[in-house]
Amino acid sequence: MRAVEVSDLVKLYKKNPKPAVDGLSFGVEAGEVFGLLGPNGAGKTTTVGVLTTRVLPTAGQASVHGVDVVRDARRARQLLAVVPQRNNLDRSLNIRQNLLFHAAYHGVPRAERNARADEILDRMGLADRAKDKIDIVSGGQAQRVMIARALMHQPKVMFLDEPSTGLDPQARLFVHDRVKDLRAEGVTVVLTTHDMDEAAKLCDRVGIVDHGKLLALDTPAALTRGLPGSTTVSVTVNLANTPVELVEKALAGIDGVERVERIGSGGPAVALPPGLPPAALAAIAAKAAEAPAAPSPTGQFRLYTGHEAAVVLPAVLRVLGDTSCDVTDLSIGTPSLEDVFIHLTGRELR
């Protein structure tokens, strides 16, 4: 039995003609760390909302360890826990009381919840802060408290929303280690994150969604291997004398280059409001003439190739020379999960 099962899930909201979730299907194995990835507005939050019984689906089914989250929401909630991105701890209680209140809500007997609180506070490095009020803890400590609270009723599935956002490197590593501990203990973890490095390090598999649909599902390594080109060449050039489209086309024509992606371009630009009188335009022109020369526009490109970098670099440099482009930066690497994400979902800001 899978820990999480989603089948043909659809969610429509009255004020939006487009579905937030559009026929989504996937499964998460027991004891797996699964990443649900996607741009803002892709449908991740709605999907997690359905799985955690906070959102009613329009159609389709979703279950946690075989329990339907709609037909038997109360039982499903006993099997899962949610650690939100934002701090929702009770500020009127201290750290320990937050844990005890959560356990009591889930029906954990008094003696058991006291012993469990001691054990979990120790595991989360919070034993010496147990009596501290929530208002005085740091962001990293609050995140640890929310994870500790979620563990109090011993859930089988843990949902983590952006678990390391805003944390310093030490706190982030601590949270990552606790996620790995949960996996070792057989707890299934479903996390959402915009940090592709975090997803690649922590997740056994990831599902990438956009516009409510599943675009890809596999291990991070398999998704990266499936991206065209096993080597990347990133180059920044001066575009003072050459249109960016011409450079992109020339790079794409190099033998062995499977794909070229324009990852950035820049240059000075001034937007003037319409209808300015001639005198104002003349004054602006005079000021511009007195200003120091603006930097030349630049273009940034990433090339994907199945060859070793040494094979294609001479051709890259030759083509850039032929198009009168000066190279200002060049680096060699391998495709990452972020490259896969951008390849599938695009670069458009949401």
- Give the pLDDT of residue 268: 41
Q: How many CB atoms lie within 10 A of CB 66?
A: 12
Selected from 1.10.150, 3.40.1710, 3.30.70, 3.40.50, the CATH number assigned to the domain covering 231-334 reads 3.30.70
Q: What is the average pLDDT across 46-58?
A: 97
Predicted local distance difference test score (pLDDT) of residue 272: 46
pLDDT at position 271 over 70: no
Mean pLDDT for 144-169 is: 94
The more confident residue out of 207 and 307 is: 207
In this predicted structure, the answer to whether residue 159 has a pLDDT above a threshold of 90 is yes
Return the CATH class of domain 4-225: alpha beta
In 3D space, the residue among 259, 261, 269, 267 whose CA is nearest the CA of residue 242 turns out to be: 267
Residue 4's pLDDT band (boundaries 50, 70, 90)?
A: very high
Residue 156 near residue 80, CB atoms below 8 Å: yes
- How many CB atoms within 10 Å of residue 342? 17
**pLDDT given for residue 102 in this prediction:** 97
Q: Where are the domains of the chain?
A: 4-225, 231-334
Which pLDDT value is given to residue 23? 97
pLDDT(202) > 60: yes
What is the pLDDT averaged over residues 169-191? Answer: 95
Q: What is the pLDDT of residue 280?
A: 58
d(CA 70, CA 88): 24
Is residue 188 scored above 90 in pLDDT? Answer: yes
Question: Over the chain, what is the mean pLDDT?
Answer: 90
pLDDT exceeds 90 at position 147: yes
Tokens of 65: 């360890």
Q: What is the pLDDT of residues 292-328, one digit of tens each?
A: 555 568 899 999 998 888 889 999 999 999 988 889 9
Q: Which residues does residue 27 pair with via DSSP β-bridges, in sequence order?
A: 5
**63 pLDDT higher than 60:** yes
Q: What is the mean pLDDT of residues 119-143?
A: 94
CA atoms within 13 A of residue 260's CA, in its CB half-sphere? 22
pLDDT value of position 319: 93
Percent of all residues in the chain with a pLDDT value above 70, rounded to a whole number? 90
Is the distance from CB of 35 to CB of 4 less than 8 angstroms? Answer: no
Mean pLDDT of 267-292: 54
pLDDT tens-digit readout, 9-26: 999 999 888 999 999 999
